[in-house]
Structure 1
């Protein structure tokens, strides 16, 4: 039987990292089968963990409510959403922002529902269900309310937060006292608009100091798009100093950023360590909203402000679609500012022209 063989495979691929963390999945054969398929397709471990977490939370609610997930309907999903939107955060006051005021933020709610939706898509493909109770927002011909059917949870689209010039200076002032590794990481994160995983995954052979460029490898990116990006001369000086310092820790080629702690000396720096560094800097600068992704948002917004074309920013950022890039155009206010200026110029010219209606004697009196 397939599921008996599946258990063996899961023991090798998922037990230590997923099934032991989310044992409820092991109690639902179809859920384990679905997760195994995504693992076999080569999805990133973090993606698998996110899928497992979202589905496990849903299955736990089903078990508590005595609902068979294979037969759940939209009403059951609505109860699950209500629980997510009212659930107190385990992190309490350490949470930076909660849109709902009590439970999970809107973006997090959407993330939790993605694996549940995909799970029901799988059940439909297997012929175990005729419909997906999660559904998705879509255009519906004939709908008198604009022809659009709402998804289970309304999607809020917010622009990312970026610091003001003074707030950015406050962060840099605090960072001046940091070790050279942390300073060069902060500089590269901004200069090259790097995501956290891209930054921490850099290797020594990804650098080209002569041309001041670095290669962001496909396997480290969110959408598996490799790119080469430049960094500034200022960052190049910092990087040169760090490379000299790194040689005192390890002369071996490999991961660029190394841990200097006693426990993990000379080991690759982890994502979580970098997150803790940035969090500490943010609190010291009294900017709790500053995160590892803020530098990327700030860089791309600055490029939009400087007049970079949309496709150029998308290439620099490694976006597969320019839809993701458009938020930085909006955030910069570039298009609105240009349109406003053009409009004001036209209005001004029109008003000056009409001043001539005050009388021909204005010209002879020196009015222009």
Structure 2
């Protein structure tokens, strides 16, 4: 059974639209990551379902039809609230999620353009256009909001650690590696036994498991090394076979590779137990990269460690707290203050003023 057939069975609406199925087939044949194909399929399926409800021919849709889809995404019920006042009101889909949902729709119309079935892309993208006002920048369909990543404060992190100490050894070593090596969820869950080099305390992050297909080697700390050694001894009681590093110990999937969703459930359980609800599988990555910045690492070094192709991505992860910025400002102001006082003290005394008194 082909991957496209599996996807059309999961989302039947894709099979009802010939061009959508053809587009997915092309992306699958190009060897895109299964999770990428799955996300694209879901996004396009949601759009096509909207088209069917509204009686819109997706091949002939225009920009007004796309805005109907955007409005639906912005007003969709969300676990954080029932009412939507704006795209970023805390209810409805988040701005970043809406951007992600529009990506497969835009790529679908790019495909239709290449096939000669359309003359323009109704989704479009923000791009530079010579001759336009405001610097020639054309806005995208949805304004992109760039926020600083959230990281836990000291007391929140201590509560997380207190709960994590009660977790099984597998979960504890996964949490330690996720922070130590700033690993993404898929990178962590995809680690294999031969990716670990205990002698040099390094991990090989294989290209096929990364977001941008860049392989890298990252170190982990001595403390994590001790924890990892304990886990490897425990893992041998579950399975002695080489392969995935982290194995399920549930009765249903015993000794099978640990899934992404199982790890997400573990992290969510820790978040609820510690009452730090914003803690997620990506928080440890945010925190690690931020700590590296606080220690004075250069931007390019952090980018290499994180596996970023461009430093622009790294800047989004580096989140310096207000206290850090206040300390930097205070140090700068102290220097400026000292300089100004010194300049005042060094002002030449006017001639004839020595020894004189004012009357």
Which TM-score applies when normalising by structure 1?
0.88
**2:197 aligned partner:** 208
Per-residue deviation at 1:185?
0.6
Secondary structure of the 1:155 match is coil
Residues 354, 328 of structure 1: CA spacing in aligned structure 2 closer, same or farther, 3 A cutoff?
farther
Per-residue deviation at 1:251?
1.1
Per-residue deviation at 1:282?
0.7
Tell me which of 325, 329, 335 is aligned to 1:345.
335
Secondary structure of the 1:214 match is strand
Superposed counterparts of 1:77-226, under 5 Å? 77-89=66-78, 91=79, 99-226=88-215
Please tell me whether the aligned partners of residues 138 and 149 of structure 1 are also in contact (alpha carbons under 8 angstroms).
Answer: yes
Please tell me whether the aligned partners of residues 4 and 21 of structure 2 are also in contact (alpha carbons under 8 angstroms).
Answer: no
**Which consecutive unaligned segments of at least 5 residues does structure 1 have?**
1-10, 361-368
Please tell me whether the aligned partners of residues 77 and 133 of structure 1 are also in contact (alpha carbons under 8 angstroms).
Answer: yes
Question: Would you say 1:297 and 2:286 are equivalent positions?
Answer: yes
Residues 152, 332 of structure 1: CA spacing in aligned structure 2 closer, same or farther, 3 A cutoff?
same
Superposed counterparts of 1:1-368, under 5 Å? 12-16=2-6, 18-89=7-78, 91=79, 99-329=88-318, 331=320, 338=328, 341-342=331-332, 344-355=334-345
In the alignment, the residues of structure 1 paired with residue 317 and residue 335 of structure 2 have an alpha-carbon distance, to the nearest angstrom, of 26
Please tell me whether the aligned partners of residues 140 and 147 of structure 1 are also in contact (alpha carbons under 8 angstroms).
Answer: yes
After superposition, give the CA deviation of every residue in 1:101-149 in whole Å (9 maximum; x if it has no partner). Answer: 4321100000000000001111111111111100111122232344221
In the alignment, the residues of structure 2 paired with residue 138 and residue 42 of structure 1 have an alpha-carbon distance, to the nearest angstrom, of 28
Per-residue deviation at 1:87?
1.3
Per-residue deviation at 1:356?
5.7
Secondary structure of the 1:177 match is coil
Please tell me whether the aligned partners of residues 59 and 69 of structure 1 are also in contact (alpha carbons under 8 angstroms).
Answer: yes
Secondary structure of the 1:331 match is coil
In the alignment, the residues of structure 2 paired with residue 61 and residue 282 of structure 1 have an alpha-carbon distance, to the nearest angstrom, of 35
Aligned residues: 345
Per-residue deviation at 1:342?
3.8
Secondary structure of the 2:218 match is strand
In the alignment, the residues of structure 2 paired with residue 34 and residue 146 of structure 1 have an alpha-carbon distance, to the nearest angstrom, of 35
In the alignment, the residues of structure 2 paired with residue 93 and residue 132 of structure 1 have an alpha-carbon distance, to the nearest angstrom, of 33
After superposition, give the CA deviation of every residue in 1:338-360 in whole Å (9 maximum; x if it has no partner). Answer: 57634541332222431466989
Please tell me whether the aligned partners of residues 329 and 335 of structure 1 are also in contact (alpha carbons under 8 angstroms).
Answer: no
**1:5 aligned partner:** none
Per-residue deviation at 1:332?
5.7
After superposition, give the CA deviation of every residue in 1:286-317 in whole Å (9 maximum; x if it has no partner). Answer: 11100000000000000011011111101111
**Which consecutive unaligned segments of at least 5 residues does structure 2 have?**
351-359
In the alignment, the residues of structure 1 paired with residue 49 and residue 347 of structure 2 have an alpha-carbon distance, to the nearest angstrom, of 78
